């Protein structure tokens, strides 16, 4: 029983989608965790600037999350277009 032709392309697309989401979720997860940790350290050192630090951290996390969203788009394209 061999997988050939369209079935092989579909299997490769599904594997690619899984890998894209797996690797695409690592970067934002690590980046957001690092940003939140550093923001907590900064708030601990200077509590008066908590509002500014929190706002800046959230903007940075949103930018970091955009790479995860791009990997989701690639995975969805692989699943539904191929």
Rounded to an integer, the average pLDDT of 38-54 is 93
- Domains of the chain, with CATH numbers? 10-81 (1.20.20.10)
pLDDT in tens, 57-68: 999 899 888 989
The reply to whether the predicted model has a pTM over 0.85 is: no
Residue 4's Cα: distance from chain center in Å?
A: 33
Q: Do residues 79 and 21 make contact, with C-beta atoms less than 8 angstroms apart?
A: no
């Amino acid at each position: 029983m061999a997988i050939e032709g369209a079935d092989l392309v579909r299997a490769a697309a599904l594997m690619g989608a899984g890998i894209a989401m797996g690797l695409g979720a690592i970067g934002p997860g690590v980046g957001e965790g690092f940003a939140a940790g550093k923001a907590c350290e900064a708030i601990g050192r200077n509590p008066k600037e908590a509002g500014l630090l929190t706002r800046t951290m959230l903007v940075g996390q949103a930018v970091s999350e955009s790479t995860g969203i791009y990997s989701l788009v690639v995975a969805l394209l692989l699943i539904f277009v191929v």
